[in-house]
Amino acid sequence: MPEETARPGRASARTAAIIKATHELLHEVGYERLSIDAVAARAGASKTTIYRRWDDKCALVCAALLDRSASVTELSSAARNLREDLIALTALVAKLTAREDVPGFVSLLAAAQQEPAIADVLGRGALAPMRRNCRDVVQRAIGRGELNDAELSDVLFDLVLGHALARGVVQRKPLSADDQRFFVDRVLLPVLMSRGKPAPPITR
């Protein structure tokens, strides 16, 4: 069947195949080396089909990022205290890090410096679920009287994302359950709970 008269279901399947191929190639070669030719070959589609849907590589990658962000799990609100919430958050981030290709993600962060569209999609799409989860953790802690500063959600987001990137890119080590609890107890809780309190005196 000519592409111009393809049934909606077939067109949807072809789009899904193109998005899947884009994810795979981002994982394998990163943004800079990804090409429309390679995506078309991997997806079994023509370049004409791809360009009919997306103007260029940047637009295609943005669509792939938004597609992936839609599958990110929202954090449960069942935690009884801040520590439980932070452990659940860290476990979720560890799961996402294991599923995703962190070096490939770093290539997108580099591309975002030159491509405003990618920067925008990373901010409101790919990273938005994590930012919402961090906000919800802090808001629940405020409701329980454990914290009193809503801006701590930005601090939490920076710490969690930075830790995930450091482990994935620099150390290339997954976050075990013990690692997650250590990070919560020795980093996240002390930082969040110390906000607004005077620093302890330095002893020699």
Q: What angle do CA 67, 91, 139 make, to 5 degrees?
A: 85
Residue 185 pLDDT level (bands cut at 50, 70, 90): very high
pTM for the model: 0.74
Convert the pLDDT of each residue in 38-62 to its tens digit: 999 999 999 999 999 999 999 999 9
State the number of CA atoms in the 13 A half-sphere of 18 facing the CB: 26
State the number of CA atoms in the 13 A half-sphere of 95 facing the CB: 12
Closest CA to 126 of 155, 164, 170, 79: 164
Closest CA to 117 of 69, 71, 56: 56
Interatomic CA distance for residues 153 and 143, integer angstroms:
14
Predicted local confidence at residue 82, as pLDDT: 96
Convert the pLDDT of each residue in 97-134 to its tens digit: 776 666 677 888 899 999 999 999 888 776 888 899 99
Query: Which two three-digit tokens encode residue 3?
Result: 């592409």
